Structure 1
Amino acid sequence: MSHFDDPAVLDRFADLVVTFAVNLQPDQILAIGSEIGKEDLTRAIAASGYRHGARFVDVSYFDLHVKRARAEFAREETLGFVPSWYGERVLELGRQRCARVGLTGPAHPGLMEGLDQKRLSRDQLPALKEGGQVVNERTTNWTAVPCPTRAWAALVHPDLDPEDAWARLGEQILHVCRLDEVDPVAAWKERQTTLAGVAGRLTARRLDALRFRGEGTDLTVGLLPTSTWINASFSTIDGIVHMPNLPSEEIFTAPDPARVDGVVRSTKPLVVGGSIVRGLEVEFRGGRAVRIDAAENADVLRGYAARDEGAARLGEVALVDGDGRIGALDTVFFDTLLDENAASHIALGEAYSFSAGDEDQHRLNHSIIHIDFMIGGPGVDVDGLTPAGETIAVLRDGAWQV
């Protein structure tokens, strides 16, 4: 039996999401983005929303089986079409200052196997470009949280009996979300204070670039003069503090999209568009990804990177130390929310506007995509390069050096 079979555990998890991570305010509308197969946690979060004063809870379920049918049978020229009301809904959530919760984790892993990956890359739903717009406008308090499913458990722990795998994944999710603490909110505040301190010290260094070096990786990522390191504690324009990822172990900033050079090898598989990209290797020249190779499903990421001018450039660089709870589990979760918080990572596509100063806003990367992939780990050293040409250690064996 999994912890997530216990209604009391679901309610405690939901309350952490509603009262702390998304920080729902009295009389706010709460929008929940979910998938078929994640009904139990969705309903628990909805109930918690109403218990804590939501005016209305709006649940939107995405069905990956319908996405598969589209990729298999729809006319080629229609695969990139997105109905206008999808994006308008997201923008309206911002205009009405709503709270948003998204549930991550594969509900139907392997469902997209056997499909034409180039066709599949044309349809990026449920991701919407308007999502990045409302994040940068800071009009919604939002969070993304993992939702365990039995199919996901079997993918993560294939060597275990299905019931044991289900129990193990539930135990791991509760651990990385700090639900195994007597006071998980206090535990999260302590961790975020630590990360905020590192982010402040790194910002004060005003580095010109970062260099990642490890097996198969030698990548230099230029930074902007006003690149600002941030931990995952955001505030809306109305002052609502929220945690956009639960869990989160990272600090991140906006790179210079014109100054990225070298080769980088992903240290964990990437799940994008329902497909698993394994053995990913990307080469950058002059800021642009000029080569994307992988052992499996490279065409999916190539398709995403070709969507617009900024899709092949970086919008984020993030650092993760070894003191977080996810990396210590030594588990590949096949879920970006968890895997990106186990290791340092970079993201193709849209930058977060609040991670650079006003004078550099015109230099930030813009795209309809934002795809994180993991490039760090104990075997990857991270150095900072100063404007004067000095090299300083930033991460060694998962330990901060700043």
Structure 2
Amino acid sequence: MPKKELIKKLAELAVKVGANVQKDQVVVIRTSTETKALAREIAEQAYLAGAKRVHVQWNDEYVSHQTLLHASLEELQNVPKYLVDQYQYFVDRGACFISIASPIPGLNKDVDSNKSQKSGIAMQKAVSFFREFLMGNKSQWTIVSEPNKVWAKQVFPELDEDKAVEKLWDAILNASRVTEKNDPILEWKEHNAILLAHNQVLNNYNFKQLHFKNSLGTDLVVELVKNHVWAGGGETAANGAYFNPNIPTEENFTMPYKWGTRGKVFATKPLNYQGKLIDKFWLEFKDGKVIDFYAEKENEALTNLLDTDEGSRYIGEIALISHDSPISNTDILFLNTLFDENASCHMALGRAYPMNIKNGVNLEMSELVKHGYNNSMVHSDFMFGSEDMEIIGLTQDGKEVQVFSKGNFVI
């Protein structure tokens, strides 16, 4: 385990830069029993930053696994009222949320995918107001990570457990820009400035569409909504607080036009979805919708993801990241979307972010949908970037612009 001082630095970063906890604000830490060290430090740092009250929502991946295995489908779809009331309590008080990711990839490989899907849908429906609260940036939210032995051993199978955990800690901290000698808060301020400058370049081009091609077979056109906004780095919540949703982050992303994606895309990294690793898969789109697909591993899980609801076969996000970038250059497959998505161009099946369209956070859902916004209960990122990715942007007046060459930004 890294020195306590480094965990403290990461916790302080999560509180001050990630969520940017405001004085007298309610803070909710969403975490698992695998992440006690970081959760405890974040709680302390949140109070030191002026939090009014810190609540911790604990989850145990193994108990959840047993529940999915043994509970009936009927019971799994029964969402207790006290859980819904708890989320409503947090939303009513304008709470900010800090999540700690510590996945156990493949844990649910023996679970009936139908049970995972149906229970997930039931929960999403029951707390849909909470999803809109977060994705609409009504308050601040962020996500950081802490390793566990199983996850670390899968990332570094050649090492024993303790060494693997130590190495994964090092990788997480470095990707999060936390070192023994640096000031992470200052470094993130500089990093945000770089990402915001790149957003401005992309916004100035105001592309109508992006065309992606590589040697794996990806040949995909993604149209963008009119008045789209490129984002990346920090964002501003409705309460005026500037925060960073993802630690780490390297992406610039925006909103696709729901019915404007066409062609075929091949994933370049596995997707950890509901404890199942979907790998070596491709999707084919027509008029924005996935019309054909296949995964060599966990095809049933991919099927269930795509069949979640009407919007889950459409995309809600397209993100650009150079192949020659900090996380990509570690050459580590993290088996965790938070990190792997920041090593590769990616897109998200499902729900879009309102902030990716001008004045979107102030629009009702019906108005957003009219603009080509995709609404869904899911938002699942998968990676398709590669070292030979070529991207051509088409401007509103029909001019072609080379955006990526050999996997990297050239604008």
1:251: which partner in 2?
252
Q: Displacement of 1:131 after TM fit?
A: 4.1
SS at match of 1:248: coil
Tell me, in whole angstroms, the C-alpha distance in 1 between the residues paired with 2:78 and 2:255.
29
RMSD over aligned Cα atoms = 1.9
Tell me, in whole angstroms, the C-alpha distance in 2 between the residues paired with 1:88 and 1:138.
20
The TM-score, its normalising length taken from structure 2, stands at 0.91
1:41: which partner in 2?
38
SS at match of 2:280: coil
1:110: which partner in 2?
106
Letter in 1 for 2:163: D
1:55: which partner in 2?
52
Tell me, in whole angstroms, the C-alpha distance in 2 between the residues paired with 1:130 and 1:378.
40
Q: Displacement of 1:306 after TM fit?
A: 1.4
Greater mean deviation of Cα atoms: 251-260 or 180-189 = 180-189
2:23: which partner in 1?
26
Structure 2, unmatched stretches of 5+, are: 361-366
Greater mean deviation of Cα atoms: 248-257 or 76-85 = 76-85
Q: Displacement of 1:358 after TM fit?
A: 4.7
Pairing 1:8–2:5 present: yes
Provide Cα deviations, 1:18-72, integer angstroms capped at 9, x if missing partner. Answer: 1121111111111000012111111111111122221111000122223323332
Letter in 2 for 1:76: L
Q: Displacement of 1:386 after TM fit?
A: 2.2
Q: Displacement of 1:277 after TM fit?
A: 0.8
Q: Displacement of 1:84 after TM fit?
A: 4.2
Tell me, in whole angstroms, the C-alpha distance in 1 between the residues paired with 2:389 and 2:88.
39
Q: 1:56 to 1:373 in 2, by over 3 A?
A: same
Moved over 4 A (4+): 125-128
Q: 1:88 to 1:386 in 2, by over 3 A?
A: farther
2:354: which partner in 1?
353
Letter in 2 for 1:374: M
Percent identity, aligned pairs only? 29
Q: Contact conserved, 1:207 with 1:385, CA < 8 A, in 2?
A: yes
Tell me, in whole angstroms, the C-alpha distance in 2 between the residues paired with 1:192 and 1:392.
25
Q: Displacement of 1:368 after TM fit?
A: 0.9
Provide Cα deviations, 1:134-172, integer angstroms capped at 9, x if missing partner. Answer: 124422111011111122110100012222211111111
Pairing 1:199–2:208 present: no
Q: 1:332 to 1:31 in 2, by over 3 A?
A: same
Letter in 2 for 1:344: C
SS at match of 1:364: coil
2:142: which partner in 1?
143
Q: Contact conserved, 2:323 with 2:385, CA < 8 A, in 1?
A: no
Letter in 1 for 2:381: D
Q: 1:141 to 1:50 in 2, by over 3 A?
A: same
Letter in 2 for 1:41: L
1:161: which partner in 2?
160
Q: Contact conserved, 1:346 with 1:374, CA < 8 A, in 2?
A: yes
Q: Displacement of 1:206 after TM fit?
A: 1.4
Q: 1:18 to 1:323 in 2, by over 3 A?
A: farther
Letter in 2 for 1:19: K
SS at match of 1:259: strand
Letter in 2 for 1:384: G
2:394: which partner in 1?
385
1:315: which partner in 2?
316
The TM-score, its normalising length taken from structure 1, stands at 0.93
Q: Displacement of 1:317 after TM fit?
A: 0.6
Q: Contact conserved, 2:34 with 2:102, CA < 8 A, in 1?
A: no
Structure 1, unmatched stretches of 5+, are: none
Provide Cα deviations, 1:264-296, integer angstroms capped at 9, x if missing partner. Answer: 111111111111111121111111112231111
Greater mean deviation of Cα atoms: 97-106 or 390-399 = 390-399
Letter in 2 for 1:168: K
Greater mean deviation of Cα atoms: 41-50 or 159-168 = 159-168
SS at match of 1:231: coil
Tell me, in whole angstroms, the C-alpha distance in 1 between the residues paired with 2:92 and 2:48.
24
SS at match of 1:260: strand
Greater mean deviation of Cα atoms: 79-88 or 244-253 = 79-88
Q: Contact conserved, 1:117 with 1:297, CA < 8 A, in 2?
A: no
Q: How does 1:118-267 map to 2 (within 5 A)?
A: 118-124=114-120, 129-180=128-179, 182-214=182-214, 215-267=216-268
**Counterpart pick for 1:364 among 348, 373, 376:** 373
Tell me, in whole angstroms, the C-alpha distance in 2 between the residues paired with 1:81 and 1:315.
28
Letter in 2 for 1:30: V
Q: Contact conserved, 1:72 with 1:115, CA < 8 A, in 2?
A: yes
Letter in 2 for 1:243: N
Q: How does 1:318-357 map to 2 (within 5 A)?
A: 318-322=319-323, 324-357=325-358
Q: Displacement of 1:14 after TM fit?
A: 0.8
Provide Cα deviations, 1:196-225, integer angstroms capped at 9, x if missing partner. Answer: 111111111111111111112111111111
1:98: which partner in 2?
95
Q: Displacement of 1:78 after TM fit?
A: 4.4
Q: Contact conserved, 1:121 with 1:299, CA < 8 A, in 2?
A: no
Tell me, in whole angstroms, the C-alpha distance in 2 between the residues paired with 1:220 and 1:89.
42
Aligned residue pairs, count: 398
Letter in 2 for 1:182: N
Q: Displacement of 1:239 after TM fit?
A: 0.6
Tell me, in whole angstroms, the C-alpha distance in 2 between the residues paired with 1:89 and 1:235.
25
Q: Contact conserved, 1:311 with 1:369, CA < 8 A, in 2?
A: yes
Q: 1:69 to 1:163 in 2, by over 3 A?
A: closer
